[in-house]
Each structure stands twice: as structure tokens, then as C-alpha cells.
Amino acid sequence: MQTRPLGKTRHDSSLAILGGAALYDVSQEEADVLADFAVEHGVNQIDVAPTYGKAEELLAPAIKRHAGHFFIGCKTNEWSSQAAAADLDRSLERLGVECLDLYQLHAVATWEEYEQAMGPAGAMESIVKGREAGKLKHIGITSHGLKAPEIQLRALNDFDFDTLMLPLNFQMWANQAYREKLEQLLAVAAEKQVGVIVIKAIAKQPWQTEQDKRPYAPWYEPFADEAMIQKCLDFSLSRDICCASTVGDVGLAKKFISAASKFTPMAQDEQDALLAGAGEYPLLW
């Protein structure tokens, strides 16, 4: 699988990274099979969070088995310094490591959350202290929703972040307001050498079926056809980004990784054709 520099971290990331959300509630055997599949296909980065069910504990054996292979990214949803510090220590213990390669403020979706996390006694205080103590190397921020680019533009102005994580797919790119802010963000990120990781690359739409009839685990309906997964990934990875996190479903994560290993830049006429059909799918936010 191709690799790209993850900003100024000095890590060359695989185009697909292993998203721990796929391991929310699976067996250890399933987790091991997915992790080994990822390694075999060149995936060299993990993204996980304590809110992803059992994922941290389930990934620990693979991290040990493939010692030194994975660049390990984790996150906290806590906004206070004390709670975020506890989150960090708990994640280190669950993952069985002494230091994380990347630690991120996770899912900062509103200005209130941002001010809490970045303000006095906020999560950022303990994250910076964690870096000083050798518990983590790099600091990032993740955001969901249509405000993500705007929030992260402010974040890059306020702090020297190493990475960003936010949603990007052809449907969101077709939304003019989102695209304009995202293009601004990508330009600033490139200038400051900030690594950009995207999520929701193969998201289709909000679920249109009842929960007990859904064939896949994510909270949204993903594209499942291999040809469409390839198109979605080729589109997102043709932007000025580093990598994309796999979907939160074990079976689809394998398809995602396989598609990323076959990535080729998408021609403009193919992009235009994909964007022309974006209106068929309602946005997630």
C-alpha cells in the first residue's frame, strides 16, 4: 500500500489506517484476524478510542505481536484536564504501551466543547503535560459534522497541532459551504505541515432501515459494493490529505483496506460524474 507523510510527525502513513471502531464488540479472534489482514496489506497506523467498546483491549495483542509496526493514535472525549488525564492513563494501560504516537481531542463538534477543551483546566492542559511526561509524542484534534473545518481552522490558529481528523466524502465535497471551508483548511494544513486524516470516506447516508435489519455495524449506512468503495476512496484520497480511517465494521474494513491498496488518483471526469450523483444521498449531518 502507498504511504504519505503524516504532516511533520515524520511518520509515513499507509493510505488506510485501522480504525478501532470496527472492533467495538467483536471476539478477540475477529480482532486478531483483522489486525493481521491490515498488516499483510501494508497498514501501519491505528486509530482507537476508549469510547470504541472493547477495541483498546482487543488491539493490545496485535500491537505486541507486531511490535514497532504500528503508529498508534488514540483519543479522548473528555473536556476537563483531570478527566482527560485519567483517559490517557487508562488507554495506555489497555493498549499495553508506555507512549502513544498520537493523542487527539476527539469529536470536538461545537464551540462550547472547543472552549472547554482548550480553556483553563481543559483537556489540552493534561495532553500537553502528557507529552512533556513522555506519555505521547504528537497532538491532534478530530471533529465531526459540517462545522468541522471551521472549528479546525480556529484550532490551527490557537495551537500547533500535528494532525487533524474530519469527515470527507464526495457527498460532503459537493456541499459548497463545506467544501469552501475544507479547502481553506487543507491549504492551511499544507502550509503548516499538519497531517490530515479523513473519516466517513465510504459513508452513504443515514440509515433508512430499522436497527434490527441493518447488515452493517456503523451508525450510518456505508457503501458496501466493492466498486463503489473503490470510487469513494479514490475520490477522497485524490484530495490533499494523508490517509483515511477504515469503516466501523470488520467485513467492510477489509474491503476498505483492499481498496486503499489499489488506489489510483481519480480522473477529473470521473470525479465530476460522482459529484453529479451526490444529491441522491442525504448528508449525515
- Domain extents in the chain: 3-280
CA geometry: angle at 12 spanning 7 and 14, to 5°? 115
Confidence at residue 247, expressed as pLDDT on a 0 to 100 scale: 98
DSSP H helical ranges for the chain: 28-40, 55-65, 81-95, 111-118, 123-132, 148-158, 170-173, 176-192, 226-237, 250-261, 268-276
Confidence at residue 4, expressed as pLDDT on a 0 to 100 scale: 98
**What's the rounded Cα separation, in Å, for the pair 249 and 160?**
33
**What's the rounded Cα separation, in Å, for the pair 243 and 167?**
12
Cα-flanking dihedrals φ and ψ of residue 231, to 5°? -60, -45
**CATH superfamily label, 3-280:** NADP-dependent oxidoreductase domain (3.20.20.100)
Residues in the chain with pLDDT values less than 70: none
Q: The whole model's pTM is what?
A: 0.97
Confidence at residue 30, expressed as pLDDT on a 0 to 100 scale: 98
